[in-house]
């Protein structure tokens, strides 16, 4: 999944369905 790193955040985020866990982690900013 290294391709995600090459692609800009908004692009890969729009292409792939947003994961509730990922969204929660980003909102919290804990990264756990």
CA distances from 31 to 4, 28 (A): 17, 8
Ranges 1-5, 6-10, 17-21, 23-27: which has the least confidence: 1-5
Phi-psi region of 7 (alpha: psi -120 to 50; beta: other; left: phi over 0): beta
Mean pLDDT over 10-24 rounds to 59
Return the residue matching tokens 């900013």.
Answer: 29
Give 20-31 pLDDT, tens digit per residue.
666 666 666 554
CA distance 12 to 32: 21
Q: Which of 21, 24, 26 is nearest to 9 (CA)?
A: 26
State residue 12's pLDDT score.
53
Provide the pLDDT confidence category of residue 32 given band limits of 50, 70 and 90. very low
Mean local confidence (pLDDT), 3-31? 58
């Amino acid at each position: 999944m290294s391709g995600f790193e090459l692609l800009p955040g908004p692009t890969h985020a729009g292409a792939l369905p947003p994961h509730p866990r990922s969204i929660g982690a980003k909102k919290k900013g804990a990264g756990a």
